[in-house]
Amino acid sequence: MPYLFTSESVSEGHPDKIADQISDALLDHFLAFDPDSKVACETLVTTGQVVLAGEVKSNTYLDVQQIARDVINRIGYTKGEYQFSGDSCGVISLIHEQSQDINQGVDRANKEEQGAGDQGMMFGYATKETPNYMPLALDISHRILTVLADLRRTDERMNYLRPDSKAQVTIEYADDDTPQRIDTIVVSTQHDAFDEDEAMLARIKKDIIEILIPLVVEQLPANLRPLFDSEITYHINPTGKFVIGGPHGDTGLTGRKIIVDTYGGKGAHGGGAFSGKDPSKVDRSAAYASRHIAKNLVAAGVSDEVLVQVSYAIGVVEPTSIFIDTYGKAKVDLNDGAIAEKVQEIFDMRPFAVEERLQLRNPIYEASAAYGHMGREPHSETRVFESPYNGKVEKQVEFFTWEKLDYVDRVKDAFGLK
């Protein structure tokens, strides 16, 4: 029997995502000037205020207030009428030094013996239903909001948009788990004040359906475009006007959008947030490594869908377990336990090995803090960091290394695939 599945995304201007981006901007600056920094930064944003907290062990010193302001302005909170602006908000820092009790289990004389920064389980997931091996409902939700952000910045037809927005997509699937059509699209977007609410709502709905959605469809491969038919139910700003938004409308906290950050509710999530954490925290690094494994397994043809779980004990080098679920869709004559054994032979999941393999000691994290950490395009670019205390640093770095299909040949060899 056909069924419906829904995923949502939130924009870079959503309060929780502002907090995530500030936390990761702080992390990037610490890593740029001291790659061995240990960082766990949390951010709270509300009307006119930003609070920074957390634990740091680093040989560098930063102007954390200015870093936070720069992020807020980049997102687009630059006007006093938003009741939250990078140039005028208060920024309070409560960051302090990392506990030595935690650090002693992580840092070792031999870096290869580095212990996990915490206990817990982390998940990675991949599916063949999109070219980037991501769940379709989440992929479309992310695309809706990235296009909306582009329109907000560059298109005069929709220059009434403000930074805060959310999108949700419901897809109808057949019994064999193939997507049949898009059932419902929900978009709630902050906007400037209008003289007439009814006229405003009508214009926003028209612009979303006639300007934004066609641009989203253009980004999709030809086989997915027919999913957008004339029968889609649209809910555009369903509660009415949305003028008061951002941190003035809702307090934001680091780490409250972990399902948006990963797979939109498909697969599983271990519960640990990513943003603000350096890669010694396996909540982050092992989740990336698990995605890397899952994606390469699917791309190599081991299965059309894969879930990977890895678990750790704090201070312990080797994972406590690695679990594979192919959902009965494996293309190899092995059960999931045997597949997991081969995965352990191919991928070194010790924390330091993960950091090295995925180049996670680089300042690459702010880019991941909005529109999902998974399913993004790997690329390289030069980043420049300046500090009143440390001068200027220029680094050539590679982003989203965990999305690379660089282990496909090794996986094929290990499983005897062509």
Give, as one character, the DSSP assignment of residue 212. I
Q: Which of 252, 187, 211 is nearest to 45 (CA)?
A: 252
Give Cα 148 distance to the centre of its chain: 18
Q: CA–CA distance from 201 to each of 141, 242, 353 (Å)? A: 21, 10, 52
Could you list the residues known to form a binding site for K(+), using ranges. Answer: 42
**CA 170 from centroid of its chain's CA atoms:** 20
The alpha carbon of residue 403 and the mean position of all alpha carbons in its chain are separated, in whole angstroms, by 12
Query: How would you write 177-244 as a 3-class SS string?
Result: CCEEEEEEEEEEEEECCCCCHHHHHHHHHHHHHHHHHHHHHHHCCCCCHHHCCCCCEEEECCCCCCCC
- Give the CA angle between residues 71, 73, 77 to the nearest 5°: 115
Instruction: Give the rounded distance of the alpha carbon of 194 from its chain centre.
Output: 33
The Cα–Cα gap between 258 and 273 comes to 6
**Bind-site residues for ATP:** 14, 164-166, 241-242, 250, 256-257, 273, 277
Residue list, annotated binding site: 14, 16, 42, 55, 98, 164-166, 241-242, 250, 256-257, 273, 277, 281
Residues in the annotated binding site for Mg(2+): 16
For the annotated binding site for L-methionine, the residues are 55, 98, 250, 281
